[in-house]
Amino acid sequence: MTIALYGRCSTRDQSTRHQIDSLRAYASAKGVEAIEFIDEGQSGVKDSRPALNELLRAARRGEIDTVVCTKLDRLARSTRHLCALSEEFEALGVALVILDQAIDTKTPTGKLLFGVLAAIAEFERDLIVDRVRSGMAAARKSGKRIGRPPALDASARDRARHMRDEGASLRAIGKALNVSHATVRSCLAAEANV
């Protein structure tokens, strides 16, 4: 029996260390060979991730018979993607084990729990997105700027506008202001739309 251990974290600031420790302990307790597939800095919303793609290729080649991860949301954040993965694993004869939620899709109870928790994982993701959107809207309403600061401050924009009025090319303006011509174009276009 060869199992695939899958871990994922969304940002480079986070670590999969705790997940990997739990997964390795599971494999050790079972006394089975394990192959690790780790996606660092990869969102669970994305269907395509380097390590997940490699895990799927290994499953399709018949190299693994069980996929183990700590939580469903490490595998995917949408019910659609979780169900698609589960269906593919089932068609390939690959079991899915979720440690922290005691799911083993080889059992009827595990299959039921998988479906319920997949819906909850998607619901949780939708709540996060809604909170972020609400927070950004409140920040905008209170006058806070959202996003990156402008590439050119007010005086640089004035200088760019003046140079453009005098016939300077976007490249020449960019070189003078130490930014790309695309940045100059964007700033001038944004001012024209205001």
**Alpha carbon distances (Å) from 123 to 73, 118, 127:** 11, 9, 6
Of the residues 10, 78, 180, 186, only one is catalytic, namely: 10
Active site residue 78: no
Provide the 8-state DSSP code for 2.
Answer: E
| Beta strand ranges found along the chain (DSSP E) | 2-8, 33-39, 66-69, 95-98, 103-104
78 contact partners, CB below 8 Å, separation of at least 6? 45, 121, 122, 125
Bridging pattern class, strands 95-98 and 103-104: antiparallel
Residues with active-site annotation: 10
